[in-house]
Structure 1
């Protein structure tokens, strides 16, 4: 019966998708053209240019916008969704001037960037900064060093990223052509995301209310580079005008290699991605160039990035579907508005005119789609710049992840016995630095321990803070007692992914590890009722978040912190503009539910 239901379900989905797309055939088949928002990287980029300052001016405003035809309130950068591309070289200094003209406060986090020496520019509300109040300005300035590849930026205040504050951040290396083992003719960005029709603030209040049992808000659809098309007649209760909506097209020269940098900029859904009839090589993972391995489907969790290289040499036609399917098996509820697959078009170009009147007729891969939310198997992916994982570690951190229903029937996320609530007016970094500048013994005495949970300076039930001094190598063993998948992101560092599995880890886990050249990344998931082992060198001074990148889960408390090389952080003096943010009227606007709702008072 389960198999019959699955087959009938897939057939129904196929019918809906065919009907959803067929009626728009004439309109979305547009002539070959490139727009600035197509996110095509500069083919004449100078990888060897001397370090320079790259300056950006962003105005953040609220706007009703209809990416797929359905209007919804959004928060946009310079009126653009997704946000502007930042493209730099390793060694450049990035300056981003923020003018917040939106109704709520905000912040921008530079996902995956080390921020070595500029921890206060990490953009993490309640940890490294207070939010940027409405009607005020703030400037992010930092040097990009020691890393290259595909990154992105997003709001890190409540769940504002799902309202539109996302965009790509690409760092080029002088060695990029050598580290990428397959040469390619073009280089493009492909952002996939789940898409909601309601503002995140309202969804968050509903999600964190009592009797919800961690039933995450289910999206209505999905977008590729901010594009899709919905049938307005299917959504009579929504304001809709799809006359300007379109599918994302990728016009690729025939018989060439092309790099596509996939980024999941969504709040919740894992995607399974394919290009019909094409195998592809994975060549980069979260900013780490890897030796090519070939696949024809790619699973990508929120915040993860994968570069692929495809070869446009299939002879069955000149147009192929790029399919991005949300793995809806992991959704706790149903949404009658949901369309779970979004499509783009990969179109071959040549000296002959493009046939724009014929839709793709490409064939889907025959296997049943993935039903479980978890990382794709990455044990075959090895960095092109080999680094052996350290053989010895300073400590093993055992972290239990789960959701618990407590007082007032509220469901909250926990690392061990700690559930995080953002202190928007007193970030961890500010309190830590102030504690030393005022000789507060609860802070100064904490440096006596090279590794510990700092429960003297911080209230552990609300802030789980692991603190290290000197150079330490740490293992994190995550054991997930929840029925949901959790893509975990570590700020300020990359980690080695040493092992992942279902159930409990084997008793001989540490004796069987392959340390020669395991994958290094900054976001890895622990599947439902599974486990993941990560190892990282805590060498970057600062206060760094470690959290689930399902945005709803982080706001429900699934976040903890590391203070690394605390003896260095203790010497810091924070910039005046950072301290000023916490005293500005309105800096706490848009934080999500009030404490009375969050704590159930």
Structure 2
């Protein structure tokens, strides 16, 4: 399958609003009429003999929405939550034309895509791009020939994705190379997320203050494909508008096999996913096909994705789909939190009534004096599946010998000056300049980086880099690496000891987001063969804000030789909008 050359995909000059505004508006209207928006297309695109350039037009706006019945301000793409789904074939080129109609900057990251040959479109302000100014357009253009599977996109500026800027990316494998082509009949995409009843503005104002003591905001509920029902009697503050919500409904035929593509697009919460009275066959982890395993339930931390095959071989009736929030991994459990998210699965012929199926946990009525039973899902959601049960379908030997080993310790502590609790990796809390990104700085071979940028350079191609992530304190951290799929070679409680801790050395799992357990560790390895500036960060979005981030400048000489497209460099000329202040969160217009 021949890949389009990068020069044919990139746009070398910026797209200004004035000459394009009417054209973009017309195209939006035409696309929405003809396709009813790409986010709801039911079938994958038809496979073509040669790669195609698939073009998507996005408009970013703010409005109000009530996904679980509670009305709140949100930021949306094409007025949808979750946002438009990008679904293409492996080998296709993707072009996304973004019109930023907000009054603040924005940017987008393509989570799970390695952006090989397109590092400036990875979407991280301060690292590989500058934000898209308000009232302007910007075009992302990237290839997909080295990636397949279930991924997602989200905003990567401030905390905007918490406020609604998320959506699925599905890259279909051609039939001749899809190992599970005959294993399922249909597929569905399921986006799971935690949800807050207030926008990030007021939540951040408290979080980034001494009063919070570093305790991040806790969600109020969760959503499955943007829907849920919240108990209006629990709404806080009480003056929020609350009306009956609705749940997502999935219609299934009996005796069919459905591939469910699961995405946790949340900001903080891990979930345990299950379907009453059904088993799930896991076949994909973060875009890597695996030897299938059968499970009753599946933990999914924020940023992670799985594909499972559901066989509808039970009695034709209606069943609950459950995403049970890992409350044990949250800092506290407020009274206005509903941790169990439900959707309906309706078998054909099963009637229209609400499901009466029973989950694995039945609290019952405790006897007088007995403690209330605890849902085991609340604890089970906090850890990744057993590392030794997940092995890629296409084996890859352990990456060795190690060229560079980096031990990274995760800590939180109060700043002695302002008493605000921040996150630290090896005693550095990250702070970058969104309008002077590392990729731009790297164009100068003698440029030096600030300590707060937390830059690690990898100069030698094909170096094997090992990262030992240590979490000596409480609270799990799902860490995501941009630009790579890594091997997870160790994960567990306690302290990692080189040469003593058992390694997952035989066909180790490959993924891009792994959970570091509380009082535990994870060890990952990747090969340095992708020039770029790649972020390594906790995917609890609040922790990103407090500095739990570092970055790798990979093969800086090769990256410098690639240059920088004119439209990317042009973004940096705008500078921050007048009066802009970092980390203020989404504050809706009055």
TM-score bracket, normalised by the shorter chain, equals 0.7 to 0.9
- Asked whether 1:129 is paired with 2:129, we answer yes
1:272-305 residue CA offsets vs partner (Å, 9 max, x unmatched): 1110011110000000011110111110000000
1:218-233 correspondence to structure 2 within 5 Å:
218-233=218-233
Evaluate the alpha carbon distance shift between residue 589 and residue 557 of structure 1 in structure 2; reply closer, same or farther with a 3 A threshold.
farther
1:80-105 residue CA offsets vs partner (Å, 9 max, x unmatched): 11101101111111111111111221
RMSD: 2.2
1:421 to 421, 427, 431: 431
Q: Aligned residue for 2:302? A: 302
SS in 2 for 1:581: helix
Q: Aligned residue for 1:58? A: 58
Q: Aligned residue for 2:254? A: 254
- Asked whether 1:355 is paired with 2:340, we answer no
| TM-score normalised by the chain length of structure 2 | 0.86
- Is 2:431–2:452's contact at 8 Å kept on the other side of the alignment? no
1:49 to partner: Cα distance: 4.0
Q: Aligned residue for 2:7? A: none
Q: Distance in 2 between matches of 1:76 and 1:98?
A: 12
Q: Aligned residue for 1:72? A: 72
Q: Aligned residue for 2:17? A: none
1:175 to partner: Cα distance: 4.9
- Asked whether 1:375 is paired with 2:376, we answer no
1:341 to partner: Cα distance: 0.9
Q: Aligned residue for 1:411? A: 421
Evaluate the alpha carbon distance shift between residue 48 and residue 381 of structure 1 in structure 2; reply closer, same or farther with a 3 A threshold.
farther
SS in 2 for 1:180: coil
Q: Distance in 2 between matches of 1:374 and 1:225?
A: 23
- Is 1:485–1:527's contact at 8 Å kept on the other side of the alignment? yes
- Asked whether 1:568 is paired with 2:558, we answer yes
Q: Distance in 1 between matches of 2:554 and 2:497?
A: 30
- Asked whether 1:432 is paired with 2:442, we answer yes
SS in 1 for 2:212: coil
Q: Distance in 2 between matches of 1:176 and 1:192?
A: 31
2:572 to 567, 579, 582: 582
- Is 2:411–2:427's contact at 8 Å kept on the other side of the alignment? no
1:555 to 542, 545, 553: 545
Evaluate the alpha carbon distance shift between residue 594 and residue 467 of structure 1 in structure 2; reply closer, same or farther with a 3 A threshold.
farther
Q: Distance in 2 between matches of 1:90 and 1:400?
A: 37
1:39 to partner: Cα distance: 6.5
Evaluate the alpha carbon distance shift between residue 345 and residue 378 of structure 1 in structure 2; reply closer, same or farther with a 3 A threshold.
farther
Q: Distance in 2 between matches of 1:304 and 1:283?
A: 14
1:365 to 360, 365, 370: 360
Q: Which deviates more from structure 2 when the two are superposed, residues 232-241 or residues 464-473?
A: 232-241
- Is 2:435–2:576's contact at 8 Å kept on the other side of the alignment? no
- Is 1:391–1:515's contact at 8 Å kept on the other side of the alignment? no
- Is 2:38–2:85's contact at 8 Å kept on the other side of the alignment? no
Q: Distance in 2 between matches of 1:289 and 1:591?
A: 43
Q: Aligned residue for 2:197? A: 197
Q: Distance in 2 between matches of 1:173 and 1:555?
A: 36
- Is 2:432–2:452's contact at 8 Å kept on the other side of the alignment? no
- Is 1:104–1:589's contact at 8 Å kept on the other side of the alignment? no
Q: Distance in 2 between matches of 1:590 and 1:333?
A: 32
1:469-548 correspondence to structure 2 within 5 Å:
469-506=460-497, 508-509=499-500, 512-548=502-538
Evaluate the alpha carbon distance shift between residue 69 and residue 376 of structure 1 in structure 2; reply closer, same or farther with a 3 A threshold.
same
1:331 to partner: Cα distance: 2.0
Q: Distance in 2 between matches of 1:132 and 1:345?
A: 39
- Asked whether 1:329 is paired with 2:324, we answer no
SS in 1 for 2:433: coil
Q: Aligned residue for 1:184? A: 184
- Is 2:318–2:351's contact at 8 Å kept on the other side of the alignment? no
Q: Distance in 1 between matches of 2:177 and 2:580?
A: 43
- Asked whether 1:344 is paired with 2:339, we answer no
Evaluate the alpha carbon distance shift between residue 240 and residue 591 of structure 1 in structure 2; reply closer, same or farther with a 3 A threshold.
same
1:461 to partner: Cα distance: 4.0
SS in 2 for 1:105: coil
1:515 to partner: Cα distance: 2.6
Q: Aligned residue for 2:400? A: 391
- Is 1:201–1:592's contact at 8 Å kept on the other side of the alignment? no
Evaluate the alpha carbon distance shift between residue 186 and residue 242 of structure 1 in structure 2; reply closer, same or farther with a 3 A threshold.
farther
SS in 1 for 2:56: strand
1:371-400 residue CA offsets vs partner (Å, 9 max, x unmatched): 262212232111112211223111211111
Q: Distance in 1 between matches of 2:295 and 2:406?
A: 34
1:513-534 residue CA offsets vs partner (Å, 9 max, x unmatched): 3433111000001011101010
- Is 1:414–1:558's contact at 8 Å kept on the other side of the alignment? yes
SS in 1 for 2:558: helix
1:40 to partner: Cα distance: 6.7
Unaligned runs of 5+ in 2: 1-34, 362-374, 586-590
Q: Aligned residue for 1:11? A: none
- Is 1:39–1:189's contact at 8 Å kept on the other side of the alignment? no
1:182 to partner: Cα distance: 6.1
Q: Distance in 2 between matches of 1:379 and 1:139?
A: 41
Q: Distance in 1 between matches of 2:257 and 2:224?
A: 21
1:460 to partner: Cα distance: 2.1
1:210 to partner: Cα distance: 1.7
- Is 1:184–1:259's contact at 8 Å kept on the other side of the alignment? yes
Q: Which deviates more from structure 2 when the two are superposed, residues 583-592 or residues 51-60?
A: 583-592
1:21-60 correspondence to structure 2 within 5 Å:
42-43=42-43, 45-60=45-60
Evaluate the alpha carbon distance shift between residue 576 and residue 481 of structure 1 in structure 2; reply closer, same or farther with a 3 A threshold.
same
- Is 1:201–1:590's contact at 8 Å kept on the other side of the alignment? no
Q: Distance in 2 between matches of 1:589 and 1:388?
A: 52
Q: Aligned residue for 1:318? A: 317
Unaligned runs of 5+ in 1: 1-34, 444-456, 596-601
SS in 2 for 1:582: helix
- Is 1:67–1:228's contact at 8 Å kept on the other side of the alignment? yes
Evaluate the alpha carbon distance shift between residue 69 and residue 55 of structure 1 in structure 2; reply closer, same or farther with a 3 A threshold.
same
